């Protein structure tokens, strides 16, 4: 078996040098999934035999990650011929199989990567944990009694436990960054328009939905951003191209940056746990020691109390649209018996919105984005917690759907604003608390400036390495 803790870049290098074959990489990862997944429930649809066949096929493409296995989140990204349910019980009961490949899947394949299966996600990705009724909860590799976060929790748990080095994720309110924080790995939400949602969608959620991946290293994240981060035919808009490949930013001098930080929840809506505050303060000390200018400053527009209402309206409209999309896709009308109580609540709320209501909220969020983004005219980066508390115990979202929705809004208080602004933001695993749980910190850059994030994240990874930190039960 190959070392399961090698990142995707190192695995691909083994193949290029002839020291490992694609089949050996794939088979080794499959064996680890078979051993660990019963404990974690991260992978819900296996395509192991397909993957083994692809690994020895002469048609395997000779991209930069040739032979490297990865996992695909069961949300938005379709893989033709494979099950696709988005956590919805009623769709799973239909036995639905994807008919097309999403653009991001096409690009993973073009890079030479091999999909081993699909990962668990909450129904329609609506909450920041991964405990769908359909497949049951995914467990955090650092403490199986706790949530891996969500909605890319299956992907994060798989990467955090060393099943694979890369797993696809998407993010509409924190769904890449939150599970990255909870599982002690790297999660970048790219700039709006950096990665394509095609061919199915031009944009989703008023531009709040972004896609990329969960990884363990900055160089893997940078390389994937290079491979996945260019427009597809017909995309309605796309982010400005970088001056050079992001992989060249790894190890590059970021210069002396102006970094503001915040430890209080926007508007005082949420009081972060002491562990999360400590993680930010230690990151401040680390950045200051690296020569950056650090000051307690943040965009005051983040304190606007209207955010939760308008962002929530966008999610409600997204849920109603998802019901409509699935009806058109399958011919099946989703009813209350097909979905969880929270999903039905969000659908009904979305149905009650008028077109004018939705557009009013979209207009508010666009104005809010301008007010927030103006802060970056005088700063390079904002440092915040990712989560307001350490990884939560499983079961925290059960019960009353209204209470679950309020809980979700509090959980995404530091992440969701940057889905609305479209700015790139990254979760880095720089802190573990006294209980051995990972506590990520978030760095946010100006629109289109993933290059700054890659440079400073690489610098931080060198100053405080995290790759030797591995979940005790899964190492």
Residue 189 annotated to the active site: no
Spell out the residues 6+ positions from residue 104 whose beta carbon is closer than 8 angstroms to its own.
77, 168, 195, 196, 211, 228
CA atoms of 393 and 104, how far apart (whole Å) = 32
Query: Does residue 73 carry a catalytic annotation?
Result: yes
User: Does residue 151 have an active-site annotation?
Assistant: yes
Q: Report the alpha-carbon distance of residue 363 to residue 357 in Å, rounded.
A: 10
In degrees, rounded to 5, the angle at the alpha carbon of residue 414 between the alpha carbons of residues 197 and 266 is: 135
| Nearest Cα residue to 475 out of 138, 36, 10, 24 | 36
Whether residue 221 contacts residue 186, with contact meaning beta carbons closer than 8 Å, is answered with yes
Measure the CA–CA gap between 177 and 179, rounded to whole angstroms.
6
Active-site hit among 152, 175, 181, 196: 175
- Closest among 49, 179, 211, 74 to 134, alpha carbons compared: 74
The rounded distance, in Å, linking the Cα atoms of 265 and 254 is 28
- Out of 73, 79, 181, 189, the active site residue is 73
Question: For strand 438-445 and strand 425-432, is the pairing parallel, antiparallel, or unpaired?
Answer: antiparallel
Catalytic residue among 79, 102, 147, 151: 151
**Residues noted as catalytic:** 73, 151, 175
């Amino acid at each position: 078996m190959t070392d399961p803790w090698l990142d995707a870049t190192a695995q691909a290098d083994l193949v290029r040098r002839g020291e490992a074959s694609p089949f050996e990489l794939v088979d080794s990862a499959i064996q680890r999934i078979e051993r660990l997944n019963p404990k974690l429930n991260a992978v819900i649809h296996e395509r192991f035999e397909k993957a083994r066949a692809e690994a020895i096929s002469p048609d395997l493409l000779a991209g930069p990650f040739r032979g490297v296995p990865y996992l695909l989140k069961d949300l938005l990204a379709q893989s033709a011929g494979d099950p696709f349910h988005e956590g919805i019980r009623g769709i799973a009961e239909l036995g639905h199989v994807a008919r097309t490949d999403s653009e991001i899947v096409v690009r993973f394949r073009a890079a030479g990567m091999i999909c081993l299966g699909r990962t668990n996600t909450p129904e329609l990705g609506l909450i920041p944990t991964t405990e769908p009724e359909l497949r049951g909860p995914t467990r955090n590799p650092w403490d199986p009694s706790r949530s891996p976060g969500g909605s890319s929790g299956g992907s994060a748990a798989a990467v955090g436990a060393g099943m694979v080095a890369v797993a696809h994720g998407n993010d509409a309110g924190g769904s890449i960054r939150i599970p990255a924080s909870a599982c002690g790995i790297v999660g970048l939400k790219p700039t709006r328009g950096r990665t394509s949602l095609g061919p199915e969608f031009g944009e989703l959620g008023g531009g709040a939905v972004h896609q990329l991946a969960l990884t363990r290293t900055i160089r893997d994240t940078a390389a994937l951003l290079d491979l996945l981060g260019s427009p597809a035919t017909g995309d309605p808009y796309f982010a400005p191209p970088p001056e050079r490949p992001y992989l060249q930013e790894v190890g590059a001098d970021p210069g002396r940056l102006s970094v503001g930080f915040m430890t209080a929840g926007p508007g005082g809506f949420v009081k972060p746990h002491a562990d999360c505050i400590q993680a930010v303060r230690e990151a401040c000390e680390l950045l200051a020691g690296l020569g950056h200018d650090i000051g307690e400053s943040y965009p005051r527009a983040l304190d606007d109390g209207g955010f939760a209402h308008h962002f929530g309206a966008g999610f409600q409209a997204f849920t109603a649209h998802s019901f409509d999309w699935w009806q058109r896709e399958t011919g099946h009308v989703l009813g209350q018996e097909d979905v969880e109580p929270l999903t039905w609540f969000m659908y009904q709320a979305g149905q009650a919105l008028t077109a004018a209501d939705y557009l009013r909220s979209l207009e508010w969020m666009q104005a809010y984005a301008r007010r927030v983004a103006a802060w970056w005219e005088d700063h390079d980066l904002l440092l915040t917690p990712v989560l307001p508390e350490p990884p939560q115990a499983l079961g925290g979202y059960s019960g009353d759907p209204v209470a679950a929705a309020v809980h979700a809004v509090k959980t995404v208080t530091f992440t969701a604003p940057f889905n609305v602004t479209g700015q790139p933001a990254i979760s880095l695993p720089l802190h573990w608390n006294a209980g051995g749980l990972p506590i990520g910190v978030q760095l946010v850059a100006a629109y289109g400036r993933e290059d700054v994030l890659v440079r400073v994240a690489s610098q931080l990874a060198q100053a405080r390495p995290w790759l030797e930190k591995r979940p005790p039960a899964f190492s």
